[in-house]
Structure 1
Amino acid sequence: MAEKRDFYEVLGISKGASDDEIKKAYRKKAMEFHPDRNTGDKAAEEKFKEVNEAYSVLSDPQKKDKYDRFGHAGVDPNAGFGGGGGFGGGFGGGFEDIFGDLFGGMFGGGSYNQAGSRRRNGPRKGQDLQKNITISFDEAAFGVKKKIEIYKYVACESCNGSGAESGSSKITCPKCNGLGEVRATQKTPFGQFTTAQTCDKCGGTGQVVEKPCHNCNGTGKVRKNVTISVDIPAGVDNDSVISIKGQGEPGSNGGLNGDLYVVISVLPHKLFKRKDTDLWIEIPITFNQAALGDELIVPTLKEKVSYKIPPGTQPETVFRLKGKGIKSLRSSKVGDLYVKVNLEVPTKLNSEQKKLIKKLGNSLNQESYVKKKGFTETMKELFK
């Protein structure tokens, strides 16, 4: 299978393009490769699919954001936690109306699937939803199960999503005879084309409800608060995205439900800083500990461990504790804990303490301070 091209490249625009520039580029490419203008041309048909897919992502702010951050993985239904997929396939959540919006129904239908065929009455995937949640540092490190509430459309229980009152049903729209669109022929600079407008009576479905449901007024769906359980795996970080299939809004005409994308924010820790799967911590030490060596008590995410620093430890020395970091989201690998020691100089000394420190200083010669000795010798060479 050929590698997918960058969506911005497909439309011939730069990554920072505005919404108007994206739409303008799409118009141009769609007209160039439209099946009605390239009958029997398989190459043009494939390019038309590619253009539609690119526009379905870049014209949607949420999908575009995921694509910009994660690339194709962000809009791949098989991408898992990396960036939340589920955008492929039939361009759910309203893509079917793109041609009607851009061309006023030109090219004989205004609604196409990836193959360029008309699908006004076909199943439509429901709207994808996004929910942002904040978790603690430890919850991100070890994983947690959360219950979230989201206010969304769900299938009406009274009519099971049909929109029809009990004992009633849907019938063929009398205005468009079930086509979902009203057609007309017009002449344009490109030749004579069949134009189509969405039927205003049935909304493009080709059917109308004979007796609307009393609970949802014939829409087949109602809004309500829904509680959803989310399993957050160990190793997530800021902007990790968890996709939950089918927890978006209901589809139309038998289409699948949309998906829910849970975007993670992680609160900072009081002691640790995170760099991918590694943890960093800074520990203050005294002059005595640095000069003579000592056994430090080092906190980790799970426990406290002891670590012996050698005599003569210099300020900002970094030690590594292997396997004491965070588990990788995509493998069994566990990161490391890096401990940076910072020398703390004592303050608020009394007179006796000052005398002792001065006495110690006088007892030490240049051989005790290797760096200072090297610096002094370099200074002498520079200012001979």
Structure 2
Amino acid sequence: MDFDTKKNYYEILGVGEDASAEEIKKAFKKAAVQHHPDKGGDKKKFQEANEAYQVLGDEKKKGQYDAMRKGGYSGGGAGGFDFGGFGGDGGVDFGDIDLGDIMGNFFGGGFDGGGRGRRKSTVGEDVKVAINITFEEGYLGTSKKVAYGRLVKVKGVQERTCATCNGHGVVTQQAHTPFGVMQTQGACPTCGGAGKTFIKGGKEFKNGGLEKQREIIEVKIPAAIKDGSYIKFTGKGNEGMSGQSGDLYVRIDIASSKFYERRGDNLYIHINITIFDLILGGEVGVNHPEGKIKVKIPKGTQIGDMVKVSGKGFGIGGLFHKRGDMFLVTKVEIPKKLSKEQEKMWNELKNKQ
């Protein structure tokens, strides 16, 4: 018999008897990391967790174990279990347990499942910044100066082969794990994966001979740009150890407006007009991003109706010779106070209905 019914394997793993297979796997993974002897854990608890999972993690054994416990059967010890590791015959099938998660705890991070580290790229990384503009600036286009930080190569720096990794940029680590002795490679902690150290005037630069520098760049924002758009500046990102720089990406964040709204390439303007304008019609002044314009309100316009003005929306593709439309969203302004003459007039109209 491959299990001991005197032991409560569910209690050992900290799960209920109705736990799913996935919950049992997660509980074992947690226990394996917590109790592993090489990480200062309790060897006995580690062995018990191993024993419990070999039973509860096997559907057939679990069924037998449950049946014998309910039937009051008392068996012998856990014969046949190998607690020295998980790699031999009869070992645990970890299935879809993420080994990278467990190994990261043993190696202190950097385990990628394939056992190989990554040497630091010699190409500079991209830099991303964001700037805020008004709705009107997004409609018309504008120009802004942006300050940002980027890594640049230190002039006059001396390069030396890293003594820790002998110029390879990676180091090999070894540890005893639940799966046996494992080796993995990670970026060298001394040079950060560069394979070299960089010194100038007795000062060591750990970023591959790079230091942060403040830059100012002028960003020309095209008309009709959409919120969240990026403008790319090739080669304006961080410099790399090879001399090839990354790119700068400037995200454009457009502020919302109480009066304006964008829907596709159309411009919606919310305006307050009088009841007379709705009933009798007439021209009203509208504050457009390009300036004040006159718009004709048709007679009999209803509250909430939208008045369309063709060709007064956003430029399509940033070109103003092809544009979307403008829509006026009407809202009636109701006076809170009336003069005696106004009140008399409204009462006369009311009585004539």
Structure 1 and Structure 2 fold alike (TM over 0.5): yes
Aligned residue number for residue 32 of structure 2: none
Amino acid at match of 1:308: K
Letter matched to residue 259 of structure 2: L
Structure 2 residue identity aligned to 1:349: L
Q: Which has the higher strand share?
A: 2
TM-score by length of 1: 0.54
- Choose which of 100, 104, 117 in structure 2 pairs with 1:110: 117
2:140 partner amino acid: F
- Structure 1 position 174, deviation (Å): 5.0
Identity %: 33
Cα-to-partner distance string for 1:194-216 (whole Å, 9 max, x where unaligned):
6435445544333345xx22296
Counterparts of 1:1-384 in structure 2, within 5 Å, are 102=109, 104=111, 107=114, 109-111=116-118, 120=119, 123-156=121-154, 158-159=155-156, 163-164=157-158, 170-183=159-172, 195-209=184-198, 212-214=199-201, 217-219=204-206, 220-252=209-241, 254=242, 256-269=244-257, 271-329=259-317, 333-364=322-353
Structure 1 residues 255 and 189: alpha-carbon distance in aligned structure 2, compared to 1, 3 A threshold: farther
Q: Write the deviation string for residues 200-243 of structure 1: whole angstroms up to 9, x where unpaired.
A: 5544333345xx22296345222232111222222223322223
In structure 2, the CA distance between the partners of 1:294 and 1:109, relative to structure 1 (3 Å rule), is closer
CA RMSD of aligned residues (A): 3.8
Match of 1:367 in 2: none
TM-score normalised by the chain length of structure 2? 0.58
- Partners of 2:245 and 2:255 lie apart in 1 by 32
Change (3 A) 1:179 1:284: closer
**Are 1:108 and 1:183, in contact at CA under 8 Å, matched by a contact in 2?**
no
Report how far residue 153 of structure 1 moved.
2.4
Distance 1:351 1:242 in 2: 60
- Equivalent pairs counted in the alignment come to 249
How far off is 1:148 after superposition?
0.8
Distance 1:208 1:188 in 2: 33
Instruction: Measure how far apart 1:338 and its partner are.
Output: 0.7
Q: Return the letter of the residue paired with 2:152.
A: V
Letter in structure 1 aligned against 2:139: A
Quick one: distance in 2 between partners of 1:150 and 1:276? 31
**1:282-323 deviation digits (Å, cap 9, x = unpaired):** 333333332222122333222333333232222222111112
How far apart are the structure 1 equivalents of 2:348 and 2:172?
101
CA distance 1:328–1:176, shift in 2 (3 Å)? same
Question: What are structure 1's unaligned runs of at least 5 residues?
Answer: 1-99, 112-119, 165-169, 365-384
**What corresponds to 1:48 in structure 2?**
none
Looking at structure 2, the residues matched to 215 and 275 of structure 1 have their Cα atoms a distance apart, in angstroms, of 59
Unaligned runs of 5+ in 2: 1-106
Aligned counterparts of 1:334 and 1:353: Cα–Cα separation in 2: 43
Secondary structure of the 1:217 match is strand
SS of the residue corresponding to residue 204 of structure 2 reads: coil
Give how far 1:335 is off. Answer: 2.2
| Secondary structure of 1:110's aligned partner | coil
Structure number with greater Rg is 2
Sort the Cα spacing of 1:302 and 1:146 in 2 relative to 1 into closer, same or farther, 3 A.
same
Structure 1 contact 216–222 (Cα < 8 Å) conserved: no
